[in-house]
Amino acid sequence: MTTAHINRIATAVPDHDIHRAFIDFADSMIPDGPPRNLFRRMARLSAIEHRYSFLEPIANGDGEWKDSEGIYERGSFPPTARRMECFERFAPQLARRALDKLDLSQEERRGITHVLVTSCTGLYAPGLDFDVVKHLGLDTSVERTMIGFMGCYAAINALKTAHHIVRSVENANVLILSLELCTLHMQETENLEQLLSFLLFADGCAAYLVSARPLGLAIDSFEAVT
């Protein structure tokens, strides 16, 4: 049976480290007393040092934080449409950063036969898969597949799909892009559990090339995830 290999991986995050700013912002939404003290303790013990976002945190004169896009204003958090506008604007930027770091040669770009994109934090049409094809100048005949709304395990399903493609299509070269803008989905809440969950997620992207050739960073097989 044909074995699929990960030939190359590249990752990218936005420029803005928002971890400290988020802790201060979330802290301000929690009533003073035991819940706020518990949030501070959990944030301190989380061992998280950095989380990145397309949103630039800006401190105002009152010691409170806002974001550069004015999305998260206390008392008027945005509707879904506004969040998706931001996804359409910023997701391609982050995707391009990861794809450029993948450093594909012109020959490798010409050889790509399939593009898989995973995301559960946003969508638009025409989608991110079109932007990938356009940015890399891929042949418009490449087969595109969107894997959406599967959460953290979407990349595993993308790898499983790439494995099936590689073992069933001769000379297949599968480009996968996994991208999430988690900071788009923060809610205005005093609920401690929700705020702690927001503490875990941020924005990031990974691009990887899968084929039957054991080149570059090669993982023996995907049998374990099939």
Which residues are marked as active site? 152
> Could you give the CA distance from residue 108 to residue 104 in angstroms, rounded to a whole number?
6
- Look at residues 199, 186, 196 and name the one whose alpha carbon lies nearest to residue 20: 199
Label residue 91 exposed, middle or buried (CB < 10 Å: 0-12, 13-18, 19+). buried
Of 13, 24, 16, the residue nearest 195 (C-alpha): 24
User: To the nearest 5 percent, what fractions of the chain are helix, strand and coil?
Assistant: 40, 20, 40
Do the Cβ atoms of 178 and 206 come closer than 8 Å?
yes
DSSP conformation class of 137: T
Rounded to whole angstroms, what are the CA distances from 93 to 3, 78, 84, 208? 33, 21, 14, 17
Residue with token string 């999305």: 71
